[in-house]
Amino acid sequence: MSLIELTAAQAASAVNAGELDPRELFEEYATRAREHGLDGESRLNCFTWLAQAAPEQRPAAGGPLAGVPLAVKDLFCVEGVPSQAGSRILEGYRPPYTATAVARLEQAGASVLGKTNQDEFAMGSSNEHSGFGPVLNPWDRGRVPGGSSGGSAAAVAAGLAPWALGTDTGGSIRQPAGLCGIVGLKPTYGAVSRYGMIAFASSLDQAGPLTRNVSDAALLLRHMVGRDALDATSLEFPEAVELPSREDLRGLRLGVPADLEDTGVEAGVREAFERTLELARELGAEVRTNIELPHAPHALSAYYVIAPAEASSNLARYDGVRYGLRVEAPEDDPEGGLVGMYMHTRHDGFGAEVKRRIMLGTYALSAGYYDAYYGRAQKVRTRIAEDFARAFQAVDFVVTPTSAEVAFELGAKTAEPWSMYANDYFTVPMPLAGIPAISIPCGLSGAQQGLGPGGAGLPVGFQIAGPAFSENGLLAAAYALERAIGFDGSVAWV
């Protein structure tokens, strides 16, 4: 059996049982990642940096994660390792410290395999906004892997990493997981420390796992969560994160939004979603299709005010003085000197999407407009959280497709920002409400059109959202469904 057939949890057990040398496992993935994961010649471009060798066996390497290699989204600071958040403005930045989420996983024995490509500062849904070029979807290299954690998703889907870390602000773990046929979990806001994550929108950003299956997601989450004195918004996880074992859904009530009909879900996605609901019923769940989330249609508008507003403030620190790129003003520039240096650094360092968000956010926060935009968006956000609270009185979890479409073609949405933003319809409400949600692959769509490897179709994601800190319940339900679905992601391994 080839080593990559082992899931991360299986590999960790094999190492801990003395049956597998963790350096051999690391070498296997590092070789595959070097060959297929870097830039050029239609390679996937999912890694922006790869470790040369497994880190020296530290005492912790015998921990529960047993030296299993981990791909880490570029925006996590890792001491001495390029950490650029997909942006040219941070080119060459090697932080002097490591993000808490990564440090905890390393303490549990994980080995950083590499940094993964992403949309610049996590702004995007396709990975086409990276300063380091787009990532290709291993299911079809003419299509996007989703974003912004597209590098992490593509690396896991292609079998170039056993698992990966991502972040989700408005869908950036779940949507790429959905489009690449893997599992992605956005935890409850505060469950995982944000310390050392290069910030996009601080009230929404949350780190989480992208994995081949639900058990691996639970295992990775278990070693990430918990209060951190270095992040005042982090919280103690109220219980141990369990490895799921549930085989049925008896007694569980799943709610489908009543207006799903009107949300433009494409036919193949709809079919895979309905099939999964049928499986849920067979497993004993009660499915209610009349869940009212009356403010959900306004989530995109609120998100695209709040996230850019917070981003415009967070990104003010990139001034060419402290980190990364510095571009001096040319001699003949009337705005020379320090201000000229700020302007040229930000002009050359930021990509178009980041500039668009900074302008939108700065406008929304400007005196005289603050109440009309930011203040109002925050009110909508409260309503969305109240909608979910009401829904969770009637059902245990709310379920939707993760995205209305399968992976789209490279370039299909770059000319029209709103069509790119609209892709986040099903994923933005949860971070606005601070609640957890998981995406699991639930089948393939598009075989009729000959899409995907050998015309088999492209993956569809099934999203399950629950109340704050319901991760154990979400993982258990996802695990039972995953077994019933029987999705085979190895089709996309390179």
Q: Which residue is nearest to ligand GLN (CB)?
A: 172
Each residue 109-148 as x (binds ligand GLN by CB under 6 A) or -, in order, gives -------------xxxx----------------------x
Q: How far is the CB of 122 from ligand GLN (least distance, A)?
A: 4
Q: Catalytic: which of 83, 125, 148, 152?
A: 148
* Closest separation in Å from C-beta 357 to ligand GLN: 8
Q: Is 172 a residue that touches ligand GLN (CB under 6 A)?
A: yes
List the x/- string, 173-212, binding to ligand GLN by CB under 6 A.
---------------------------x------------
CB of 425 to ligand GLN, least distance (A): 11
Nearer to ligand GLN (CB atom), residue 169 or residue 276: 169
Give the contacts of 38 (CB within 8 A, at least 6 positions apart): 45, 47, 50
CB of 210 to ligand GLN, least distance (A): 13
**315 near ligand GLN (CB under 6 A):** no
Q: Could you say which of 87, 152, 172, 445 is catalytic?
A: 172
Distance set, CA 312 to CA 114, 240, 306, 316, 360 (Å): 29, 37, 10, 6, 8
Q: Which of 73, 115, 186, 413 is catalytic?
A: 73
Which residue's CB is nearer to ligand GLN, number 305 or number 485?
305
> Of the candidates 22, 37, 131, 171, which one interacts with ligand GLN according to CB under 6 A?
171
| 169 contributes a contact to ligand GLN by CB under 6 A | yes
Give min distance, CB of 121 to ligand GLN, in A: 8
125 is catalytic: no
The number of residues that bind ligand GLN (CB under 6 A) is 13
Whether 379 is catalytic? no
Q: Minimum CB separation from ligand GLN for residue 101, in Å? A: 15
**N- to C-terminal Cα separation, the chain:** 16
| 286-291/253-257 β-pairing | parallel
Select the span of 88-96, 130-138, 164-172, 235-243 touching ligand GLN (CB under 6 A). 164-172
Interactions with ligand GLN, residue window 250-309 (CB under 6 A): 307
Clarify whether 355 is annotated catalytic: no
Q: Which stretch binds ligand GLN (CB under 6 A): 168-176, 382-390, 407-415, 460-468?
A: 168-176
Q: How far is the CB of 427 from ligand GLN (least distance, A)?
A: 7
Which of the ranges 5-13, 108-116, 163-171, 403-411 carries the binding residues for ligand GLN, by CB under 6 A? Answer: 163-171
Residues classed as catalytic: 73, 148, 172
Contact positions toward ligand GLN, by CB under 6 A?
A: 122-125, 148, 168-172, 200, 307, 424
